[in-house]
Amino acid sequence: MKKRQAIVIGCSAGGLTALQSVLPGLDARLGVPIIICCHTGSADVTILVDLLDRHASLPVVEASERAPADPGVIHVAPSGYHLMVEPNFHFSLSVDAKVAYARPSIDVLFETAADAWHDGLIAVLLTGANSDGAQGLVAVRRAGGFALVQDPLTAEADVMPLAGLEAAGADACLPLDAIAAKLNELCLP
Amino acid sequence: MDVEDIEIQLFVRAMQLRHGYDFSEYAPASLKRRVQQLVRTHDASSISELNSRLLHEEGFVARVIEGLSVPVSEMFRDPLVFRTLRDKVFPVLASYPEINIWQAGCAHGQEVYSLAILLEEAGLYERSRIYATDFNDAALAIAADGIYATREARDWSRNYIEAGGSHSLSDYYSARYDFIKLDQRLRRNVTFFNHNLVTDEVFCEAHLILCRNVLIYFTNTLQDRTLGLFRDSLVRGGFLCLGTRENIDFSPAAAGFGDVDHALRIYQVGGPGARALSR
């Protein structure tokens, strides 16, 4: 089975709790970059980064413009910008119009990451009250990436995972507490 | 190679060879998204159809340029940046008999008017000259009009107060139906004109350059070239203000700039941490 090279995660309403549940379960030896787009509504993502860093098994940082998507690090999209992955696996930002009413938009992150990593990408769509991420999930699956959607029954807000499943389907649809183990299995040698 | 990626390369070549616009050093991910958006806007079946129209259809290039520089901004975006300009940069500017400010990539002009208001309130406007440039003529026309949708402007009053404004933002515009129009007196010392950061050169000796969230669309190479252009345009001790998430660590030309406020991306030629200029 092909070893995956990167993980992107999208979430909105209920996202903080969901991430605090998933991130501690990730194996500290995961040698892939993990990139999160979480709608927070706040002007500053620092608080989210600090909260996640307390629980995660890997370092959590705000994704830095032009910097490489370092493996073994959890990168969080800054507020007010779309976060993109360039073909050379470095981050870029844009202030283009909102996509799916959001900036940062999960669709934008997923689509550009799919362009960069193709079938090496795993995309995870978690709880949320809007349908951002659904089109991104379509792009990920079209590129041969692995789509993992949180079981809507276990989601604080089920609109986002349901929209993802309807638009793209999924390679796995798991309850929240099974997601970290699946990611470890897909990424560890 | 992906067909769409080939089409984008051909698009870039067509813009370059037919119209003299060089997008080859634009960061690929956002360029691709914007070209895909153009396909939707113009109801084209593919990027190749856009390419064909670019080559054959009179006047189409202007509409493409309009779509390729989608300027999204607001007045006093990141209020703390404007407050810090007022508190830390304006006192230095006040020591010059004439103040030249270059707003590079002014898009729809929201920041030009923001700056004009702050200069006015600091008593510096009369001796200031603001050069507001963009490579998109349609955007420049909108900037010169200073008319914005009321719904866009909802947060601007709060931004203005947080930026340290001393009046009410509504003192500076007239509201009509769904639009607000900025007081045209605010542009009496503003010159709007076309300048392309990719190909055009130094045109003034500036004391302050604002260029926020423009270089984020450029590759490292073009970012570095543009920072060199800014450095050469600024007087010694001149200021540069970029977007708050921009990263100039990979640019050799950035070595000439030191921090005024690193978190807010306000720099000064020869400021703390700057290295000797290599011109």
Using CB atoms, pick whichever of A67, A85, A94 lies closest to residue B216: A94
- The domain limits of chain A are 6-187
Question: Is B245 in Cβ contact with A93 (below 8 Å)?
Answer: yes
User: For chain A, how far is it from start to end, CA to CA, in angstroms?
Assistant: 10
Closest-CA distance of chain A to residue B213, Å: 7
- Give the lowest-confidence range in B67-71, B119-123, B255-259: B67-71
- CA of A109: which chain B residue's CA is closest? B29
Whether pLDDT at B221 is above 60: yes
Nearest CA-CA partner of B255 in B235, B279, B222, B221:
B279
Residue B119 has which token pair?
Answer: 């200069």
- Give me the pLDDT at residue B111, please: 97
Question: Is A95 in Cβ contact with B213 (below 8 Å)?
Answer: yes
Using CB atoms, pick whichever of A66, A95, A115 lies closest to residue B250: A66
Question: Is A96 in Cβ contact with B30 (below 8 Å)?
Answer: yes
pLDDT band at residue B278 under the 50/70/90 scheme: very low
Closest-CA distance of chain B to residue A102, Å: 13
| pLDDT, tens digit (0-9, with 9 covering 90-100), for A66-100 | 999 999 999 999 999 999 999 999 999 999 999 99
- Give the lowest-confidence range in A43-47, A110-114, B61-65, B168-172: A43-47
Distance of CA A186 to the CA centre of its chain: 15
Assign a CATH topology to domain A6-187: Rossmann fold (3.40.50)
pLDDT band at residue B279 under the 50/70/90 scheme: very low
- Give me the pLDDT at residue B69, please: 83
pLDDT band at residue A40 under the 50/70/90 scheme: confident
- Give me the pLDDT at residue B59, please: 94
Whether pLDDT at B176 is above 70: yes
Active site amino acids of A: 12, 39, 132
Using CB atoms, pick whichever of A64, A86, A108 lies closest to residue B27: A86
3-state secondary structure of B145: helix
- CA of A68: which chain B residue's CA is closest? B250
Helix ranges (H only) for chain B are 3-19, 28-41, 47-56, 60-68, 79-84, 90-93, 110-121, 137-145, 156-162, 220-233
Question: Is B70 in Cβ contact with A66 (below 8 Å)?
Answer: no
pLDDT band at residue A55 under the 50/70/90 scheme: confident
Residues in B closer than 8 angstroms to A94, CB to CB, are: 30, 33, 216-217
Question: Sheet containing B173-176: which strands, arranged edge to edge?
Answer: B147-149, B179-182, B173-176
3-state secondary structure of B274: coil
Question: Is B216 in Cβ contact with A112 (below 8 Å)?
Answer: no
Whether pLDDT at B118 is above 70: yes
Which residue of A8, A82, A93, A101 is the best one to mutate when testing the B interface, meaning the one whose CB has the most B CBs within 10 A? A93
Q: How far is CA A45 from CA A113, A139, B93, B156, in A?
A: 21, 26, 33, 21
Compute the distance between CA of residue B164 and CA of residue B148 in angstroms, rounded to an integer. Answer: 22
Residues in B closer than 8 angstroms to A85, CB to CB, are: 29
Determine phi and psi for A56, rounding to 5 degrees: -75, 155
Distance of CA B137 to the CA centre of its chain: 13
Closest-CA distance of chain B to residue A97, Å: 6
Q: How far is CA A135 from CA A81, B22, B177, in A?
A: 19, 31, 36
| pLDDT, tens digit (0-9, with 9 covering 90-100), for B124-149 | 999 999 999 999 999 999 999 999 99
Enumerate domains of chain B plus CATH numbers: 3-68 (no CATH), 79-269 (3.40.50.150)
Question: Is A81 in Cβ contact with B245 (below 8 Å)?
Answer: yes
Question: Is B245 in Cβ contact with A94 (below 8 Å)?
Answer: no
pLDDT band at residue A57 under the 50/70/90 scheme: very high
Using CB atoms, pick whichever of A78, A97, A115 lies closest to residue B70: A97
Compute the distance between CA of residue B64 and CA of residue B70 in angstroms, rounded to an integer. Answer: 10
More confident residue, B2 or B273: B2
Whether pLDDT at B276 is above 80: no
Residue B248 has which token pair?
Answer: 């100039």
Q: How far is CA B278 from CA A36, B208, B228, B231, B254, in A?
A: 40, 20, 10, 10, 11
Closest-CA distance of chain A to residue B200, Å: 23
| pLDDT, tens digit (0-9, with 9 covering 90-100), for A114-161 | 999 999 999 999 999 999 999 999 999 999 999 999 999 999 999 999
- Give me the pLDDT at residue A2, please: 66
Q: How far is CA B233 from CA B102, B141, B167, B240, in A?
A: 9, 25, 33, 10
3-state secondary structure of A62: strand
Mean pLDDT of chain B: 95
- Give me the pLDDT at residue B216, please: 97
